[in-house]
Structure 1
Amino acid sequence: MKKTFQMAKMGFALCASMLLVACGSSGESSKESSESTNSVTLMDEVKPVDITFWHAMKGPNADALEKIVADYNATVGKEKGVTVTPVFQDTGIASKVKMAASTDDIENAPDIIQTVGSDIPSLSALEEIVPAQEFFDSKNAGITTDDYYPHLLRTFTYKEKIMGVPMNVSTLLLYYNEDLLKKAGHTEAPATIAELAQYSTDLGKVDGVTGLNTEIARYQLANFIVSQSEKSFMGDNEGGRLQPMTEYTMGKDGTLKAFLTEWEKVVQSGSYKYLEDNPNEEFASGLNAMVLLSSARLGAINHLVGDKFQWKTAFLPKVNEKDTSGASVGGSALVMYNRGDNNKLAAAWDFIKYATSPEVQATWSQATGYIPVNKNTEKLDSMVEFYAKNPNYKVALEQMKASSPMAQEPFDLVNWEVNDIVKDTMGRFAQKQLSVDEAVEELSTKSNEALAEYIRVNE
């Protein structure tokens, strides 16, 4: 019997000694439906097979991912005769997956897809996609969803089904130059936007220094909206997670105005750079004392700064002191694609289990700065030692744990278009061309117009 996904109690089982496969979907393989019709059974063992893994990692993160694949192929994969081939697909993986499904291109389709959360709703409509929920529901499993942080499972949950297994996840952090803050008279990181504004003003008095550099785009705005309370969402249906979003509600529930009212203090600080030209390099050179960046930038910042100055990371400043929800999670999950070969599905799942195991996640997190998705990773001696030597890396994990699982980016269907709307509006707000009320009206109206048009075209 299927169990529904509930945040309060997550005790689903996942296959360990036995491997899961999907029985094939009903209807045409390229046909889209509101929910996958795949069902799940168990196999005693995997037969030798090659599987394809589409990903979008670049640079050092790509090197770290390919090492995971190579280590699997040389150990667990070799023992079982499974070979994983990573294929870089850059951005737009979801579009390529949908193209493969619509053309029945089974030969060139992937077995595993690394996909961002915002693509989950559209991918879930494909019959070829096998929800991870199908695997977590297995009664003969060896590990459970309790091995993953509930925040991360919810990040990739749609219509109460876990669609993908979290892999590379991060949170938005405040990076700050501790030496410059001390020169400005501050020994702790700002805890609220009002304090952030005051710090920026003070830092502006230090020669050649800009207090804060960050561009408010959709991702940043989403964090400040959902952080206000567990009931704060950018749109209806819990931000499009229970059902498709039909309206951006941030303009009428007060959360958008609350953020803009406080952010106006940052704009008025006189030491705020609202465009991100080279945020990593400018922070590392000491030009900007504070910057809001993903925790996935930790490795790059660490390398660029070196021993030039002391720097730290801190939680995302609250909109208001009494806010309770915390920062949201961003990143990607590993999603299964059914090519009609049960053995390939079993092999793909075996790799996903390996890639999200405690030991592998420790290596992955230390190399990239991504939050380890397996709760058992932080208990490993190697991870305890790493965090002791690199406390900046642990801040993202602690921020996630201190946040509500309800604090999530929206599944808003028009995220790229809304991202442009937010950047344009917030840019003019930063230049004092729009008042708080005008910015609220513009952001709300234009975002809802974009969403309404999408619904009209696709209904």
Structure 2
Amino acid sequence: MRQPKLKSSLLLITVLLLSMLATACGGANTNTASNAGAASNNKQAANANSNGNKEETSASKTKVVWWHSMGGELGKAADQLVTDFNASQSTVEVEAVYQGTYDESLNKMKASLDSKSGPSLIQVYEIGSRFMIDSGAITPVQNFIDQESYDVSQLEENIAGYYTFDGKQYSMPFNTSNPILYYNKDLFKAAGLDPEKAPATYEEVKQAADKLAQKGAPASFAIYGWFMEQFFANQGAEYVNNGNGRTAPADASLVNSEAGTKTLDWWKGLIDSKAAINLGRKTDDTKKAFLAGQISMTLDSTASLRGIVDGVGDKFEVGTAFLPKPDGTEDGGVVVGGASLWILNNKPEAEQQAAWEFIKFLAQPDTQAKWHISTGYFPITKKAYEEQIVKDNLAKYPQFQTAIDQLHASKPSQATQGAVMGVFPEARQIVESAIEEALGGSKTTKQALDDASKEISSKIENYNKTVK
């Protein structure tokens, strides 16, 4: 099926705007893991770009250039996967090229389309999915799935579901995470709280945080738009209209609905009562405070779990729990964050097929097991949990069972499948500004969310006009 294309000038403006904004979980400025250690990859990126897109390594091998945004240790883990794949067969050779943040990588991809100097395969954060589809620059992985009857039942439904639109899977999930509550069990015990019973609702978080703050250890949650999106899904509420943008393109934000006001009122109540403190937008800052024992509870990605547990060491015991929700909420769950892999359609069919072969290798249980152990991201393949190294890792980091259970407990719906809109990065920034305004008292929670909803809806409308 021919995908709709964007008018070139307006699309370029959109991409340039994207490059100025923060990225999603698994790659959002200091809010995400993909940029951790990105500075150490500057030399890697420069070297890769200098010898970038060769046609083939030899007459017998098809060259696949893979652009990714995995920095630091994550980049080393990604490079190892490429090395393993190249050594596993003799017909395809993949070259991994670090391209900076997700936004930077997307901007470079757009600039490369006319010259065809870009990648065969690109890693794109989850909130870039609508943009990728509308660009008309990709071949849906569903085409390859159908051609060989590839068994998608092996994939985690709640992960693959995000990248599925109108029954068609457009990309293959790669690095996947969601947020969980981290808490200091030692501080809980000192405050007279049961360290084995984590707060599960907004109300329980408030009660626990009040007691903990009296002991000098309040809670703190970073002002991160991803968290607000998750709080919506956890209430079974949609973030944009038209089935979260999945039954038809979204044309209005729902951030000022009851789910939003209920969440922001609770959050502001924590700040006003000094049960929680505001440390700003960066999850790195709340993470450092948690590691130092200065705060008792925080929210962070499941991909941060290993780093947090290792960082704490024997200073205290780290507890983990599901993302809290309002009391009495039954439906809902979390939305996957991270990124997926997209095949570019301006490459020869043989090259696209070669990219698909690499994608299949990455989805294998043993590959996913190694990726999970090295990074902390979820395996996208169910059978990866049967690998011994995953079992051993779970024994070492039992807190990760919380992440697995939360993923599997999420009830499939359009709310938990995740919202899609072409201006998602901008929308996330607008929501973060609204949260700041409400917590700081410059606007009421209702006014802040009403203004945010209006601004986001206007941007969606302008974006939709660019789509044929």
Normalised by the length of structure 2, the TM-score is 0.82
Distance 1:263 1:396 in 2: 23
Partner secondary structure for residue 445 of structure 1:
helix
Which protein is richer in helix relative to its size?
A: 2
Correspondences of 1:303-322 after superposition (within 5 Å): 303-322=310-329
Q: CA deviation at 1:333?
A: 0.7
1:97 Cα offset (Å): 1.9
Q: Does 1:89 align with 2:99?
A: yes
In the alignment, what sits opposite 1:99? Answer: 111
C-alpha separation between the residues in 2 aligned to 1:345 and 1:455? 29
Partner in structure 2 of residue 449 of structure 1: 458
Match of 1:212 among 214, 219, 238: 219
Partners of 1:216 and 1:70 lie apart in 2 by: 38
CA drift at 1:431: 2.4
Q: Deviations over 1:281-336 (max 9, x none)?
A: 21111111111011111232123212211112211011333231111111111111
Residues 217-232 of structure 1 mapped to structure 2, 5 A cutoff = 217-229=224-236, 232=237
Summarize the Cα distance change of 1:308–1:416 in structure 2 as closer, same or farther, 3 Å threshold. same
Q: Does 1:113 align with 2:117?
A: no
Find out whether 1:251 has 2:261 as its counterpart.
no
Corresponding residue for 1:152?
159
Mapped pair 1:401 → 2:413: no
Contact 2:239 2:255 (8 Å CA) reproduced: yes
Match for 1:244: what amino acid?
A: P
Distance in 1 between residues matched to 2:367 and 2:193, nearest whole Å: 39
Number of positions where the alignment pairs a residue of Structure 1 with one of Structure 2: 410
Describe the SS at the equivalent of 1:370.
Answer: coil
Paired with 1:159 and 1:273, the residues of 2 have a C-alpha distance of 42
Matched position secondary structure for 2:76? helix
Choose between structure 1 and 2: higher strand proportion.
Answer: 1
| Equivalent of residue 396 in structure 2, options 389, 394, 397 | 389
Alignment of 1:268-287 (within 5 A): 268-274=272-278, 275-276=280-281, 278-287=285-294
SS of 2:447's equivalent in the other structure is helix
Counterpart of 2:210 in structure 1 is 201
**Secondary structure of the corresponding residue to residue 203 of structure 1:** helix
Rounded Cα–Cα distance in structure 2 between residues aligned with 1:182 and 1:200: 13
- Retained in 1: the 8 A contact 2:60–2:91? yes
CA distance in 2, matches of 1:324, 1:96: 40
Distance 1:446 1:343 in 2: 44
Q: Is the 8 A contact 1:112 1:336 kept in 2?
A: yes
1:217-366 alignment to 2 at 5 Å? 217-229=224-236, 232-252=237-257, 254-274=258-278, 275-276=280-281, 278-366=285-373
What is the root-mean-square deviation in Å for CA atoms of aligned residues? 2.6
Q: Please give the residue correspondences for 1:3-18 in structure 2 after superposition, counting only pairs within 5 Å.
A: none
1:371 equivalent in alignment to 2:378: yes
Residue 224 of structure 1 contacts residue 319 of structure 1 at CA under 8 Å; is this kept in 2? no
- Separation in structure 2 between the aligned mates of residue 366 and residue 321 of structure 1, nearest angstrom: 36
Which residue in 2 is equivalent to 1:422?
Answer: 431
Displacement of 1:145 after TM fit?
1.0
Is 1:80 the equivalent of 2:90?
yes
Q: Of residues 63, 69, 73 in structure 1, which corresponds to 2:76? A: 63
Instruction: Note the alpha carbon deviations across 1:263-298, whole angstroms, 9 max, x for none.
Output: 343233313122245222211111111110111112
What's the counterpart of residue 419 of structure 2? 410
The alpha carbon displacement at 1:47 in A equals 5.1
Shift of 1:420: 2.2
Structure 2 gap ranges (5+): 10-58
Q: Which runs of 5+ in 1 are unaligned?
A: 3-24, 33-45
**What residue in structure 2 maps to residue 42 of structure 1?**
none
Query: In the TM superposition, what is the alpha-carbon distance from 1:441 to its structure 2 partner?
Result: 2.0
Contact kept, 8 Å, 1:213 with 1:291, in 2: the verdict is: yes
- Output the CA distance in 1 between the equivalents of 2:165 and 2:336: 15
Deviation at 1:177, TM superposition (A): 1.0
Residue 40 of structure 1 corresponds to which residue in structure 2? Answer: none
Distance in 2 separating the partners of 1:264 and 1:279: 17
String of CA shifts for 1:168-189, please: whole Å, max 9, x gaps. 0000111111111111122221
Secondary structure in 1 aligned to 2:219? strand
C-alpha distance 437-342 of structure 1, shift in aligned 2 (>3 A): closer
Given that residues 73 and 83 in structure 1 are in contact (C-alpha distance below 8 angstroms), is that contact kept between their aligned partners in structure 2? yes
Could you tell me how far apart the structure 2 residues matched to 1:300 and 1:272 are?
Answer: 23
Q: Secondary structure at the match of 1:83?
A: strand
Instruction: Report the residue type matching 1:97 in the other structure.
Output: M
Q: Secondary structure at the match of 2:407?
A: helix
Report SS of the residue matched to 2:296. strand
Secondary structure of the residue that 1:413 maps to in structure 2?
coil
User: C-alpha displacement at 1:99, in angstroms?
Assistant: 2.2
Contact kept, 8 Å, 1:121 with 1:158, in 2: the verdict is no
Moved more, 237-246 or 188-197: 237-246
